Structure 1
Amino acid sequence: VRILGMVHFPGEYPYTPGMTVRDLVVAGGGMTGSAYTLSAELSRQTVDLNSSTPMARINHVNLPSLLDEQTLSTKLRIKDILSVKPIPSWSEKNTIEILGEVQFPGVYTFQKNESLKSVFKRAGGFTEAAFLEGAVFTRVNLVEREDEQKERLIAQLEKDLANISLAAGTEQTAAKAKSVADGLLARLQNSKSLGRLVIDLKDQVAEKSDNSIIVRNGDKLFVPSKPFEVSVVGEIQFPTSHLYRDNLSLKDYIQRSGGFTANADESRVFAVKANGAVLTKANSGWFTTINTRQNLEAGDVIVVPINLDKGRWLETLTSGTQVIYQLAVAAAAVNSF
């Protein structure tokens, strides 16, 4: 006989004459706290020997309460299967971690289909130092998805590396190309997937919000303290952070970092906002000139990518642009922590 479901030791047990439902539950170590005791299912295999073509059939019987003496005294037969159901929507593992500038940081359990707004209320709200725009929300399945994408990029870049020596015109050019590509590959392999989901936290936890996301097991929310700097990374002379001033433009911050390097792609400079959103010339009206200061805020990261067109040997790196872009965005996201 077998017992399945919400018992401590589900499995198959030897049948003994006169064995009852109670005996099988005891053999399975008893019911867990998540067992639905109001009913259970008993599956029994029968054969009609009076038929000209005997066939085995499985009958399913719904037993009443597992706390009822009559149910527990039900006699079992060889090959019977008892299924103990779970309590609907019961979960012992659904947790979300809320850290940073909240009144009560910690790990919170939640029920199925519970919203972020609902769980966040139990964290007591924000502290005075909370920087809502820089909140980082991460999700396990997004980390897995990013890891898969990273593996594809690594595989593509490794293929490109094999073709560099053939595409290069001279041995010196080939060595330089391989050095750059090896560096890209190493950075990509060592990068950590964040699984960040860009959200408007203020809107998500607002009392009147109707579109708060449903939380999932393993979610993490980090609310940082208010920043006072703007960071500049990538192809600049001295990657660093500067105190934010509302009268400084994108160009001012780059100049304060020593200006562009010889390999900088000045036409494709972009900014990563504190909430994870990316602003480029293509998707943002304010990014029409490098002198603009509109929309630059404390906590933002200015990224200067490498110019792949400055060396024909880099044309072989078909995945190069995508690799560099994603590394830069990932670095900016890490900076938000």
Structure 2
Amino acid sequence: MLLVCMAVSLAHAQNISDIDFKNIRVDDLSDQQIQRIYEGAQARNLSIDQAVQMAVARGLPQSQASKLKRRLQQVQSGGALGTDSAAGVSGQLRSPIPTEGPDSTRFDSLYAQTDSLKWARQQLKSKIFGYKLFTSDKVTFEPALNIPTPEDYQLGPGDEIIIDIWGAAQMNYQLEVSPDGSVIIENIGPIYVNGLTVEEASNRLRSRLGDIYSGLNPANSENKDTYMQLSLGQVRSIKVTVLGEATVPGTYTLSSLSTVFNALYAAGGPTTTGSFRKINVIRGEETVATFDLYDLLVYGNQSENVRLRSQDIIQIQPYQNRIEIEGEVKRPGIYELVGNETLQDLIVYAGDFTDKAYTDRIKVVGNTPKQKRITDVNKGYFDDYILQNGDSVSVGKILDRFTNKVEIEGAVFRPGDYALNDTTSLYSLIQRADGLMGDAFMNRGIIYRTRDDYTVESISFSVRDLMHNPGAHDIALKKDDVVRISSIFDMRENFTVEIKGPVQSPDEYEYAYGMTLEDLIYMAEGFQQSATPYRIEVARRIRDVDEQTGQTSIIADIQTFTVDENLRLGEEGANFELQPFDQVYVRELPNYEEQQEVYVVGEVKYPGKYAISSRDDRLSDLIDRAGGLTPDAYTDGATLFRKREFTQQESQQTTANVEGAEGELQPQQDREEENETSAQIGIELPEVISNPGSKYDLLVEEGDSLFIPQQLETVTVEGGVFYPTTVRYEGSRSFKDYITAAGGFNDLARKKRAYIIYANGDVDRTKKVLFFKNYPSVEPGATIVVPEETPKEGMSPAERVGILSTIASTMAVVATTIIRLTN
């Protein structure tokens, strides 16, 4: 509910003075609400410091003031003009910028320049060591208030002290130090404590309270029966001024427990030109401390991070020496050195070297009055080399190479990299690699050696001679040598054998020495039922070449083996040893056939699948096995669908126009391959039934589908007619009558090319005899197709005008020429 009230207050506030800061928590404010506060302060020409002070005066807690200031600074840095160009000049948040008129172009250019400068300044800030500490919005450095009372804390006006008395007497005092520096205790009067430490004030109060509580300070310590303790309650606020190279210089109201670092954080830290090493704390006319932020950031030393007093002045000096370090250090960036600090000090500030740093020599680039200079500082002199302002230090990276590496690869048990000092010779390297593997190629090995000019040479050796007599054939190694010992399997083709035909897993198998024909059949998981019991052929490569002609007419050596009725090889075949690249062929039984199925769909008594019983099965046999035709069968429309492979063009040109057949033929279509389709074959079923075995009674094949429809009563007209439609069949109507029923030929109709597709799949077309057209007869279920011409695109009006203009121009030229010739 509190957040809702805060949001409503900010939403309706027309002026910064109308905002209720007492109940605001800065972390809960959105960016839009901070922007509204910023704009309200801008409207009143207030700087950020003045706006924050006004918020504190209107009840904003001190702990929230620094957060509000930081967020307002973020809004300001995101504007068109940065701190240095706008607020630094006028003291206001942002000066009015003209958006119209002759000055607007000048300010557009100013915006572009400011953006470029802001980007460069931001890059500089990101490099300066310690700068991010004051710009991060994820951390805060507020003084701790809930801590034990520091013994050296000096009391002052506004502090609250708590006196607890217990023992023989019980009492509690909560007293505030008055503006004149004293506290008033009933029956005692004022006691001056201003400037006293907590310990000194405790002693003074104990002495004065002893007048009331006799057991607090008795003459004899053995009679002490009353005790006192002094602690701080609410601490006072102090005014501290931050001057010099501060991001936001000004006077700040802080807790009396605040230190130098707390004040620096409230002021946004040093600017890009401010020193992190020389921050003076001035009290009166004396500099009581010089704070070095590096002591805190690098070493965690807070000895100079003194507690502030009211009216203290913190002065940030400009930096004297800044040096940039880059490369292989843990914290590359820009660092500030003071006094006689050296290169070694810079390395410590940068977090020391990374594990890949080249530390034997460091490059330093500096400035002379006229030009740059470069210096190489060797290891051992880092402590003596004093850096100058503007120097740039670069720490290089070690080379990606080895000083003592040799490598062995190939047919050894542990290939890899080895140290040259442990393996100075070829034989010792092989021993370090746990010796040769059994498949090592013993005739030759190679050493690849990198010369001084980085060219590579090869040194060959006999592996067999080296292993038999290392004393005579050993070779001394050099760094970066690579030894290669090949395997015998690397020196030859991949040996395989292959088995084809009716076995369970016909495939190519890896060859193994001693593999027999029976082993290969076993690897192929045995014969299929269709395997022939008569012969198995093995084809072997011929490697011998006729010495005289250089060629041979024999391509392969063929050997044949028999098996018994149980498909077991004879002794010769079982023990026949294969050679690499042999191909084994298992033949099928001559008369072995798998069952083949056909389909009968439509008007038969028992439609469904039927197995072909012999190679001589015909359509009539299929109808007889299906129980004959039903009374509703339309025999003239019967169609045979036969599976065949179609090209894509043929598939697009072929259409099935059988009514009601799609649903019944779906089981068959699900079994067809993607590159197969059904060709429609026109049959004469009445002739098949009346004359079984005639030329009309076709032999059936696997996958055939015989479709016998019901009585058809319609004719379809499509193509080049005005109204493609399906009309009722009437025997008295002719071919042209059905076209007339579809609206007649249209303008694109190719009348002479009209044709008809009968229900059984037969096709007939219009024929011309002399001057007469002979149109085909029409039967129920037929489809009349009138092809159309490709429409021609007519000329546009612009094209017509262009042609007429050209003709007119040409005629004018001709007429002019004739007149001149006539004259």
3-state DSSP class of the match of 1:24?
helix
Q: CA deviation at 1:237?
A: 3.3
Contact 2:515 2:578 in 1 (8 A): no
Contact 1:138 1:219 in 2 (8 A): yes
Deviations 1:157-190 (A, max 9, x none): xxxxxxxxxxxxxxxxxxxxxxxxxxxxxxxxxx
Q: Counterpart of 2:26?
A: none
Contact 1:90 1:111 in 2 (8 A): no
TM-score (norm 2): 0.28
Provide closer, same or farther for how the CA distance between residues 71 and 252 of structure 1 changes in structure 2, counting only shifts above 3 A: same
Contact 2:540 2:583 in 1 (8 A): no
Residue from 633, 637, 654 that aligns with 1:134: 637
Residue from 487, 493, 504 that aligns with 1:8: 504
How many residue pairs get aligned? The number is 264
Return the letter of the residue paired with 2:537.
L
Return the letter of the residue paired with 2:503.
V
| CA–CA distance in structure 2, aligned partners of residues 44 and 274 of structure 1 | 55
The answer on 1:87 being equivalent to 2:583 is: no
The answer on 1:237 being equivalent to 2:733 is: no
| CA–CA distance in structure 1, aligned partners of residues 632 and 600 of structure 2 | 16
| CA–CA distance in structure 2, aligned partners of residues 47 and 270 of structure 1 | 63
The answer on 1:246 being equivalent to 2:756 is: no
Deviations 1:116-141 (A, max 9, x none): 43555443433322222222323343
Q: Counterpart of 1:272?
A: 757
| CA–CA distance in structure 1, aligned partners of residues 708 and 727 of structure 2 | 22
Q: CA deviation at 1:282?
A: 1.5
Deviations 1:267-322 (A, max 9, x none): 5543322223333331799x9467xxx832211223333366xx7659xxxxxxxx
Residue from 613, 626, 633 that aligns with 1:123: 626
Residue from 65, 70, 74 that aligns with 2:574: 74
- Identical-residue share of aligned pairs (%): 27
Higher fraction of strand: 2
Residue from 61, 68, 73 that aligns with 2:560: 61
Contact 1:89 1:112 in 2 (8 A): no
Residue from 202, 220, 230 that aligns with 2:705: 220
Contact 1:18 1:75 in 2 (8 A): no
Contact 1:268 1:281 in 2 (8 A): yes
Counterparts of 1:1-337 in structure 2, within 5 Å, are 1-13=497-509, 21-36=517-532, 38-43=533-538, 45=540, 58-65=557-564, 67=566, 71=570, 74-79=574-579, 81-92=583-594, 94-110=596-612, 113-117=615-619, 118-141=621-644, 143-144=646-647, 146-147=649-650, 195-204=679-688, 206-209=691-694, 212-266=697-751, 268-282=753-767, 288=773, 295-306=777-788
Deviations 1:85-113 (A, max 9, x none): 11225344744333222333334444785
Deviations 1:208-264 (A, max 9, x none): 325644444443332222201122222333322222222233343333333343444
Contact 1:133 1:275 in 2 (8 A): yes
Identify which of structures 1 and 2 has the higher relative contact order when contacts are C-alpha pairs closer than 8 Å and 6+ apart. 1
Gaps of 5+ in 1: 151-192, 315-337
> What's the Cα RMSD here?
4.1
Contact 2:562 2:569 in 1 (8 A): no
3-state DSSP class of the match of 2:503?
coil
| CA–CA distance in structure 2, aligned partners of residues 266 and 59 of structure 1 | 66
Q: Counterpart of 1:177?
A: none
Provide closer, same or farther for how the CA distance between residues 42 and 278 of structure 1 changes in structure 2, counting only shifts above 3 A: closer
Contact 1:40 1:82 in 2 (8 A): no
3-state DSSP class of the match of 2:739?
helix
| CA–CA distance in structure 1, aligned partners of residues 542 and 781 of structure 2 | 73
Q: CA deviation at 1:28?
A: 1.1
3-state DSSP class of the match of 1:33?
coil
Provide closer, same or farther for how the CA distance between residues 11 and 266 of structure 1 changes in structure 2, counting only shifts above 3 A: closer
Return the letter of the residue paired with 1:298.
P
Q: CA deviation at 1:6?
A: 0.5
Provide closer, same or farther for how the CA distance between residues 7 and 262 of structure 1 changes in structure 2, counting only shifts above 3 A: same
Return the letter of the residue paired with 1:11.
D
Deviations 1:5-34 (A, max 9, x none): 111101244566775554433321122222
Q: Counterpart of 1:190?
A: none
Return the letter of the residue paired with 1:43.
V
3-state DSSP class of the match of 2:588?
coil
Contact 1:20 1:76 in 2 (8 A): yes
| CA–CA distance in structure 2, aligned partners of residues 27 and 128 of structure 1 | 59
Contact 1:232 1:257 in 2 (8 A): yes
3-state DSSP class of the match of 2:732?
coil
Name which one, 1 or 2, has greater alpha-carbon Rg: 2
| CA–CA distance in structure 2, aligned partners of residues 141 and 70 of structure 1 | 40
Contact 2:527 2:567 in 1 (8 A): no
